[in-house]
Chain A
């Protein structure tokens, strides 16, 4: 079955350490996205990529980095520069930009706790 896989489901890190969240999709989607979810805040866009080797900053990109070396993969690194990294992180994908009515398909999320 096609879908989006995020791993791990729970992640614990010490403050000051970088951590990378994995996101893989086999839907053959061109676009991929990372959102952050905090209680009462809804989903906020961190980064997105519409094509391999290209990505754009979202609304809250500071302290995060991404890469898009393969169509299927869009890993997110939470760096030590991110002031409040503890959150629920959701990866999503969709068809190409021209299909503006296509929904985002989401993974099951990674809950990151930094102490």
Chain B
């Protein structure tokens, strides 16, 4: 079974609108962390936001926020006021307990139109 599932291969949004990118995860470990990365067409991976399994509040970083629903095992990324520069691939990833590695989902391509 996949540990990280991103069900939206592609998403379209107009500039200045908000968009939600979905991510569900599967783990039996009570300690885990969830990460979102952005990959522009240049290929670099840019870390956006982190949510820990014990964090009581949803993480926020500027225009990025994480809608963390622990019981549903979902960690959706919300981008407010989309900009043209937000067009990129977005990956959700998880680190479980004592492991150092991240497991990635297959990604969602976001296209922002003027």
Contact = CB atoms under 8 A, between A and B. Distances in A.
A103 B47 CA distance: 7
B104 A50 contact: no
A90 B45 contact: yes
A115 interface: no
B22 to A, nearest CB: 15
A90 B4 CA distance: 19
Contact of B44 (A31, A33, A97, A106): A106
Contacts of B31: 100
A92 B98 CA distance: 18
Nearest to B95: A100
Interface string B63-101: 000000000000000000000000000010101011111
Contacts of A25: none
Residue among B45, B47, B103, B104 with the highest chain A CB neighbour number at 10 A: B45
Interface stretch (A14-22, A39-47, A67-75, A78-86): A39-47
Interface in A95-115: 96-97, 100-101, 103-109, 111
Given A35-B104, A97-B100, A107-B44, 10 more contacts: A40-B9, A41-B106, A42-B104, A42-B105, A100-B33, A100-B97, A100-B99, A103-B50, A108-B42, A108-B44
Contacts of A90: 43, 45
A46 to B, nearest CB: 11
Interface residues of B, number: 28
A42 B100 contact: no
Given A101-B33, A101-B52, A43 B43 contact: no
Contact of B106 (A42, A96, A97): A42
Given A106-B44, A108-B43, A42 B107 contact: yes
B18 interface: no
Contacts of A101: 33, 50, 52, 95
Contact of B43 (A48, A58, A88, A100): A88
Residue among A33, A88, A106 with the highest chain B CB neighbour number at 10 A: A106
Contacts of B102: 104
Contact of A111 (B43, B98, B105): B43
